[in-house]
């Protein structure tokens, strides 16, 4: 090789440095452009210290921040989808029954028509046991609200517009399809595979186990993120209200520890609600695959595109513990988490 | 009214049974209802149900749900029903071949879970991972037709042994995740114990599962747990007096348990077995 072309160590470092700076600038530009394209969304954060103290009124006040939604709510047949996955005495796994009761009371006070609570528990076939052990059965009986086991409901096929799972269509429960609006009521939790489980991941529970197995096994094999996005786009929930009064940190979604977060997070854009809830937990939503995937489907993640209603995010932000291999969730650099996970 | 009154009242025109009154016929509900009717004196209803089940089977011997190319986990239950009632031996042979060829996804060893991911059992949908309940259904069915020593059955038995919880009994999935022992649950434990009848397995595994059921089920707040717990305990010769009275106390005036077809059928089968009638799941 002619000596004129010899790459010195200094030149190599300069070249490498320039390439790195160029890549970072390019990636930042793409991100900024991506954020600019995201639709505007509103997310309300409300302080709610306990499950018993004025919860109905707090929820009602939050819902009234969305006048368009409240107008559509009047007379509507509403399906509430809480998170009821397993029951353990020692772990706050599920959306609290009193939270579900508060939502029902608030929706009724705003003129909702028929309200149904539906869930297809993801792991266990014994839904009756879960309802009884969790206390949800008592609440629903007291409030005269029917429960539908979505695992065993009659189904109808829904074409998958994005088809990330490659399934082409998804059979969904008729109770879901016949509702005027579906409202996701997740719990604020970490998730040992997905990072966080919030209003979108909660929708795994609408998939009928009788067809797709437990724990909705066919969909897990098609990828959790792919499935979450496909289900969200097929169900198109009208609203999400996150039970963040008690959240779960560490080894979620089943065996983590309780965090008294004292917040309720709600809104019409599920991706924006989940992004905000993720930030409340002290993580960066840009690390959550299914949230990033939603950007291609009209989702909103960027803080600049989310109008915060109610409390300021800074005032309620916490620092949820995560499992060691998910510590990248707390890094502002999106690729750090993938690097920690060994994907880069 | 009795359970058979309820079951015949909610049977669909096509001969199958729904999970709940008014719904479309579902293979699992139909399998349990056919057994309950056939063993409880409702032959005509059972016959119509059997016809629906055999029509639901594909030429390949697997049961496919409408618009679903993947064979469904209830294929095993259909074989169990046909074999128990000594029906359609030619169809049984086809289903046996299909079950023995059932493909499952094997996984790499995962540090998060304590299980041998190289073992082949049966999955909910063909081509996915093996789980306790579908494996138990397949073992029951294949043992019922006399294939209990087939290598695939032995592999499924090994899988169940691999998944035993530290407390005795079975979780629906793994016995341990990230160093944390997972709890056993009544329904997967009952199915696993029924499936292990006639297998050469350590007595401690069976005793552990039975002790778990005897300890947990009497106070467990579900009819499914009472019914399956009673069936498993009685199949292994344990007393179920307390469970029987709890079951009877929960029966509704329409003869059902919570108006759920599959649960009602299993509860009726449990009462039938406990009262000296034929035990639907004793091998």
Determine the pLDDT at residue B109: 66
**Average pLDDT of the residues in B219-225:** 96
- Determine, for residues B19 and A133 on separate chains, whether the beta-carbon distance falls below 8 Å: no
Are B117 and B110 contacting, i.e. CB atoms less than 8 angstroms apart? yes
pLDDT less than 70: residues of chain A:
1-36, 53, 334-344
Distance, in Å, from the CA atom of A111 to the CA atom of A181, rounded to the nearest integer, reads 14
Would an 8 Å CB–CB cutoff place A167 in contact with chain B? no
The shortest C-alpha distance from B240 to chain A (Å) reads 20
- Determine, for residues B125 and A123 on separate chains, whether the beta-carbon distance falls below 8 Å: no
Three-class SS state of B82: helix
Determine the pLDDT at residue A17: 67
Determine if the peptide bond prior to A215 is cis (ω within 30°).
Answer: yes
Contacts of A251 in chain B (CB under 8 A): 178, 180
Would an 8 Å CB–CB cutoff place A152 in contact with chain B? yes
- Determine, for residues B178 and A192 on separate chains, whether the beta-carbon distance falls below 8 Å: yes
- Percentages helix, strand, coil for chain A (3-state, rounded to 5) are 45, 20, 35
Nearest residue of B to residue A158, measured between CA atoms: B67
- Determine, for residues A213 and B123 on separate chains, whether the beta-carbon distance falls below 8 Å: yes
Task: Out of B65, B128, B258, name the one closest to residue A217 (CB).
Answer: B128
Are B107 and B70 contacting, i.e. CB atoms less than 8 angstroms apart? no
Distance, in Å, from the CA atom of B270 to the CA atom of B280, rounded to the nearest integer, reads 8
Contacts of B123 in chain A (CB under 8 A): 213, 217
HSE-CB at B58 with a 13 A cutoff on CA atoms is: 17
| pLDDT bucket at B177, cuts 50 / 70 / 90 | confident
Task: Out of A88, A123, A212, name the one closest to residue B172 (CB).
Answer: A123
Neighbouring CB atoms inside 10 A of A186's CB total 30
- Determine, for residues B133 and A217 on separate chains, whether the beta-carbon distance falls below 8 Å: no
Determine the pLDDT at residue A259: 96
Determine the pLDDT at residue A12: 60
- Determine, for residues B172 and A124 on separate chains, whether the beta-carbon distance falls below 8 Å: yes
Instruction: Report the length, in residues, of chain A.
Output: 344
Determine the pLDDT at residue B179: 83
DSSP string, A167-178: -SEEEEEHHHHT
Determine the pLDDT at residue B115: 78
- pLDDT tens digits along B88-129: 999 999 999 999 999 998 876 666 777 787 889 999 999 999
| Residue to test with chain A: of B25, B30, B125, B130, most A Cβ within 10 A | B125
Nearest residue of B to residue A122, measured between CA atoms: B172
| Residue to test with chain A: of B68, B178, B229, B265, most A Cβ within 10 A | B68
Are A48 and A96 contacting, i.e. CB atoms less than 8 angstroms apart? no
Would an 8 Å CB–CB cutoff place A125 in contact with chain B? yes
- Determine, for residues A128 and B73 on separate chains, whether the beta-carbon distance falls below 8 Å: no
Nearest residue of B to residue A209, measured between CA atoms: B124
Q: Cα dist. A256→A94, B23, B34, B98, B214 in Å? A: 12, 38, 43, 41, 30
Nearest-CA neighbor of B261 among B55, B53, B5, B1? B5
Determine the pLDDT at residue B178: 80
Would an 8 Å CB–CB cutoff place A15 in contact with chain B? no
- pLDDT tens digits along B118-133: 889 999 999 999 999 9
Sequence-distant (≥ 6) Cβ neighbours of residue A116 within 8 angstroms:
A77, A78, A79, A80, A145, A146, A147, A148, A175, A179
Interface subset of B 52-111, CB within 8 angstroms of A: 65, 67-68, 70, 72-73, 105
Residues facing A243 on adjacent strands: A187, A264
Rounded percentage of chain B residues whose pLDDT exceeds 90: 89
- Determine, for residues A126 and B172 on separate chains, whether the beta-carbon distance falls below 8 Å: no
Determine the pLDDT at residue A1: 41
Two structure tokens written together for A220:
């897990």
Please state the pTM of the whole predicted model: 0.92
Residue reference for tokens 């014994």: A126
Would an 8 Å CB–CB cutoff place B180 in contact with chain A? yes
Backbone angles phi, psi at B116, to 5 degrees: -90, 100
Determine the pLDDT at residue A46: 98
Q: What is the mean pLDDT of chain B?
A: 95
Two structure tokens written together for A330:
């707390």
Would an 8 Å CB–CB cutoff place B131 in contact with chain A? yes
Determine the pLDDT at residue A2: 45
- Determine, for residues B173 and A123 on separate chains, whether the beta-carbon distance falls below 8 Å: yes
Contacts of B24 in chain A (CB under 8 A): 154
Contacts of A212 in chain B (CB under 8 A): 124-125
Calculate the CA dihedral of residues B6, B12, B18, B22 and round it to 10 degrees: -80
Write the Ramachandran bin of A308: left for phi over 0, alpha for psi from -120 to 50, otherwise beta: beta
Q: Cα dist. A246→A88, A96, A257, A259, A264 in Å? A: 15, 8, 10, 6, 10
- pLDDT tens digits along A311-342: 999 999 999 999 998 999 998 876 665 555 44
Would an 8 Å CB–CB cutoff place B20 in contact with chain A? yes
| Residue to test with chain A: of B121, B179, B222, B226, most A Cβ within 10 A | B222
| Residue to test with chain A: of B19, B72, B169, B227, most A Cβ within 10 A | B19
């Amino acid at each position: 090789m002619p000596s004129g072309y010899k790459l010195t160590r200094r030149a190599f470092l300069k070249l490498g440095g320039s390439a790195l700076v160029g890549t970072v600038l390019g990636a930042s530009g793409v991100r900024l452009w991506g954020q600019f394209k995201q639709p505007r969304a509103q997310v309300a954060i409300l302080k709610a210290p306990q499950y018993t103290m004025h919860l109905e009124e707090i929820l009602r006040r939050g819902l009234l921040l969305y006048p368009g939604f409240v107008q559509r709510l009047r007379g509507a047949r509403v399906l509430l989808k809480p998170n009821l996955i397993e029951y353990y005495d020692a772990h706050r796994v599920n959306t609290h029954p009193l939270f579900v009761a508060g939502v029902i009371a608030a929706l009724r006070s705003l003129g909702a028509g028929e309200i149904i609570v539906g869930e297809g528990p993801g792991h266990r076939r014994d839904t009756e046991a879960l309802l009884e052990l969790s206390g949800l059965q008592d609440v629903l009986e007291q409030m005269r609200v029917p429960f539908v086991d979505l695992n065993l409901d009659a189904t109808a096929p829904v074409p998958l517009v994005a088809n990330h799972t490659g399934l082409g269509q998804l059979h969904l429960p008729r109770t879901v399809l016949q509702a005027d609006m579906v409202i996701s009521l997740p719990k604020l939790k970490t998730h040992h595979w997905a990072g966080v489980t919030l209003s979108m991941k909660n929708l795994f529970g609408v998939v009928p186990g009788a067809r797709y197995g437990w724990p909705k096994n066919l969909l897990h094999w098609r990828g959790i993120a792919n499935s979450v996005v496909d289900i969200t786009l097929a169900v198109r929930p009208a609203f999400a209200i996150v039970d963040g009064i008690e959240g779960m940190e560490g080894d979620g979604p089943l065996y983590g520890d309780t965090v008294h977060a004292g917040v309720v997070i709600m809104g019409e854009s599920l991706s924006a609600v989940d992004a905000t809830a993720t930030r409340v937990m002290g993580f960066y939503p840009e690390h959550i695959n299914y949230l990033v995937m939603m950007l291609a489907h009209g989702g909103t993640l960027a803080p600049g595109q989310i109008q915060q209603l109610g409390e300021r995010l800074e005032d309620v932000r916490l620092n949820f513990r995560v499992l060691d291999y998910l510590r990248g969730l707390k890094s502002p650099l999106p690729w750090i988490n993938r690097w920690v996970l060994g994907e880069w | 009214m009795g359970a058979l009154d309820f079951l015949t009242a909610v049977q669909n025109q096509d001969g199958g049974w729904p999970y709940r009154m008014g719904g479309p016929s579902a293979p699992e509900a139909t399998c349990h209802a056919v057994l309950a009717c056939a063993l409880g004196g409702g032959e005509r209803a059972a016959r119509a149900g059997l016809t629906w089940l055999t029509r639901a089977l594909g030429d390949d011997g697997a049961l496919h749900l409408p618009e679903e190319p993947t064979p469904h986990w209830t294929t095993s239950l259909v074989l169990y029903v046909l074999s128990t009632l000594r029906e359609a031996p030619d169809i049984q042979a086809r289903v046996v071949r299909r079950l023995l060829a059932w493909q499952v996804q094997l996984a790499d060893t995962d540090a998060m879970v304590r299980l041998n991911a190289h073992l082949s059992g049966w999955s909910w949908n063909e081509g996915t991972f093996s789980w306790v309940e579908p494996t138990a259904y397949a073992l029951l069915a294949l043992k019922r037709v006399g294939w209990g020593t087939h290598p695939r059955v032995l592999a499924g038995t090994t899988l169940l042994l691999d998944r035993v919880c530290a407390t005795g009994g079975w979780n629906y999935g793994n016995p341990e995740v990230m160093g944390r022992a997972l709890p056993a649950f009544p329904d997967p434990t009952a199915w696993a114990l029924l499936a292990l009848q006639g297998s050469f397995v350590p007595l401690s595994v069976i005793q552990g599962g039975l002790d778990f059921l005897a300890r947990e089920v009497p106070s467990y707040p579900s009819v499914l747990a009472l019914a399956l717990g009673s069936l498993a305990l009685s199949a292994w010769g344990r007393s179920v007096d307390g469970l029987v009275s709890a079951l009877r106390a929960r029966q509704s005036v329409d003869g059902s348990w919570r108006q759920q077809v599959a649960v009602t059928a299993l509860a009726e089968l449990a009462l039938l077995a406990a009262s000296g009638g034929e035990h639907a799941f004793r091998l």
